[in-house]
Amino acid sequence: MREHEGNNLNRDHGKKLMSFSFNGKNFEIRTTDHTYEHLERRYDLNIVCGNIVALGKERLYDYADRGEDIAIIDRDNDMTVIITFEGSQIRIRTVIDKSNVWVRKGTRIFNLKKGGF
């Protein structure tokens, strides 16, 4: 069982950065208040959220169903976005200001390229 399953998540916890949908399936990108303050000072949140949406419909659907942890590496902006899927919520865990990173075992890694993955 994934960490998020069966633990009565507070769907309103933290700050909602954006919501979007693909073919009627809704997603929210959220982060904790503390992480939001850090992100807002250091990063362009449009780029951070854009990197998540760039995963595309099929990956978003699949990861939402499985509760995956994902590292999105953006070499053009020299950053890595670490996210966790909690159903249709996508939680930003952290953003690292480099693209050469180590991630914990079990985390899926995607290299963002101009024009997609």
Residue 62 domain-assigned (yes or no): yes
Give the number of domains in the chain.
1
Q: Tell whether 11 is covered by a domain.
A: no
Q: How far apart are CA 111 and CA 104, in angstroms?
A: 16
Return d(Cα 67, Cα 4) in angstroms, integer. Answer: 8
Q: 100 pLDDT band (50/70/90 cuts)?
A: confident
pTM of the complete model: 0.84
**Band (3; pLDDT cuts 50, 70, 90):** very low
Does residue 2 form part of some domain? Answer: no
pLDDT tens for 27-86 read 999 998 888 888 889 999 999 999 999 999 999 999 998 988 999 999 999 999 999 999
**Domain extent at residue 81:** 20-112
CA distance 69 to 90: 10
Does any domain span residue 44? yes
Q: Which of 95, 82, 90 is nearest to 45 (CA)?
A: 95
69 within a domain of the structure (yes/no): yes
> What CATH number should be reported for the domain holding residue 61?
3.30.2310
Written as six digits, the tokens of 10 are 């507070």
In a domain, 74, yes or no: yes
Within-domain flag for 73: yes
Question: Any idea what DSSP says for residue 65?
Answer: H
* Per-residue confidence (pLDDT) for residue 6, from 0 to 100: 42
In this predicted structure, what is the pLDDT of residue 11?
65
Q: Is residue 12 part of a domain?
A: no
